[in-house]
Amino acid sequence: MKSLTYLFLACALFVCTTASTQSRIPTAVVRQLTIEPGVGIHTNFGTDFLLTNLVQWNPTKRFSLASHTSFNLNNIYQRDVNYVKTNYNYSINQKFGAGTTFYSKKSSHTALLMIGFKYTAFKETLHNPDLDPVSVTINGFSPDYGLMYSYKKGLKKCFFTFRTYIPLYPWPVKGSNIDYIDGNRDSIAVELGIGLKIK
Interface residues with another protein (CB under 8 A) are 3-4, 6-7, 10-11, 14, 18, 25, 27, 74-75, 78-79, 81-84, 86, 89, 102-105, 109, 111, 120, 122, 124-126, 128, 130-132, 134-136, 138, 140, 142, 147, 166, 168-183, 186
Please state the length of the chain.
199
CB of 46 to another protein, least distance (A): 14
- Is-cis flag, bond preceding 170, omega within 30? yes
- Pairing outcome for strands 107-126 and 80-81: unpaired
CB of 118 to another protein, least distance (A): 9
Of the CA atoms within 13 Å of residue 183, those in its CB half-sphere come to 11
Q: Of the two residues 14 and 49, which places its CB atom closer to another protein in the complex? A: 14
Taking the alpha carbons at both ends of the chain, their separation in whole angstroms is: 39
Q: Under a CB-based contact definition with an 8 Å cutoff, are residues 191 and 39 in contact?
A: yes
CB of 127 to another protein, least distance (A): 9
CB of 78 to another protein, least distance (A): 4
